[in-house]
Amino acid sequence: MFLIIGYVVVLLASLGTYAMHGDLLALWVPLEYVAIFGLMIGGFIAGNGPKAIKATLKGLPMALKGSPYNKALYVDLLALLFEILAKVRKEGLMSIENDIENPDASPIFSKYPSVTADHHVVEFMTDYLRMMVGGNLNAFEIENLMDMEIETHHQEAHTAPHVVAKVADAVPAFGIVVAVMGVVNVMGSVGQPPAVLGKMIGGALVGTFLGILVSYGFVAPLAGQLEQKVEEGGKIYQVIKVVLLASMNGYAPQVAIEFGRKVLYSTDRPGFVELEQEIKNRKG
């Protein structure tokens, strides 16, 4: 939503103010638009492999969606982790084997659809719970493994914003290319009347204008939105990591989830009493 609002403001600030003292039709040079967007698409394809292209196209809709990573989601996540760890503490590690092998049929996981909607998060959580069930673990080694997996996920998730940012960097240069092509065309028409030459020069300059506007007004903000969504999406793995590590180090479930609460952003972090009360309410 904010991306669309920003685009509208960009158009009003550029085309709107220009329309107050100029002719908008002078900016309508269809071949310049075709050339700019054609160069963008060609550069995007040439500069990336199939995996990066697929990841970028898949990631673009994220910029238009609201973030699911909010306080309500993290309260659900911490409550889910508390229930799992409380069951382990009360009945032993083997008691959660069925829950982690088939989360979709688990009475615990099914209570938190906001968490289970993200299969990557569920897979990350159940994989390490499965390792805990499997035998004695070295917490330092598991922490290192978690860090490497989170880093791998982080790098993969950054593919789309990185590619879009690279395209944004290239678009002003593409605008110059189109403008130079227009100037070359003008140089070949020096015998034309000044009015005709002026129109041709203006059309050539549209390429530079369009390249800069598209880059800094549209593509760069899109890359920024994707970057922010990726950063928000990485926090949930850190929460799971610190909670499970705290449990492995012998902390009680109430203390373990406090570790997770502490790593949240201040805007998404529930208060200690708020989280405690929420967990009590869910226990019935």
Return the structure tokens found at 178: 């189109």
Query: Do 81 and 260 touch, CB atoms closer than 8 A?
Result: yes
Express each pLDDT in 100-147 by its tens digit: 999 989 999 999 999 999 999 999 999 999 988 877 778 888 899 999
Closest by alpha carbon to 69, among 33, 118, 35, 21?
Answer: 118
Q: Which amino acid, 100? A: I
Confidence category of residue 284, pLDDT binned at 50, 70, 90: low
- Global pTM reads 0.83
Express each pLDDT in 44-77 by its tens digit: 999 999 999 999 999 888 888 888 889 999 999 9
Q: What is the mean pLDDT of residues 226-234?
A: 90
Q: In whole angstroms, give the CA distance from residue 139 to residue 132.
A: 10
Closest by alpha carbon to 243, among 275, 208, 284?
Answer: 275
Report the share of the chain in percent with pLDDT over 90. 58
Task: Return the minimum-mean-pLDDT range out of 67-81, 147-161, 184-198.
Answer: 184-198
Q: What does the H/E/C string look like for 203-215?
A: HHHHHHHHHHHHH
Return the structure tokens found at 98: 């069925």
DSSP secondary structure of 167-192: HHHHHHHHHHHHHHHHHHHHHTTTTS
Query: Do 161 and 60 touch, CB atoms closer than 8 A?
Result: no
Q: In whole angstroms, give the CA distance from residue 269 to residue 263.
A: 8
Return the structure tokens found at 60: 């673009």
Task: Return the minimum-mean-pLDDT range out of 104-108, 164-168, 190-194, 201-205.
Answer: 190-194
Residue whose tokens read 């041709």: 200
Query: Do 275 and 261 touch, CB atoms closer than 8 A?
Result: yes
Q: Which amino acid, 260? A: G
Of the chain, the end-to-end C-alpha distance in Å amounts to: 38
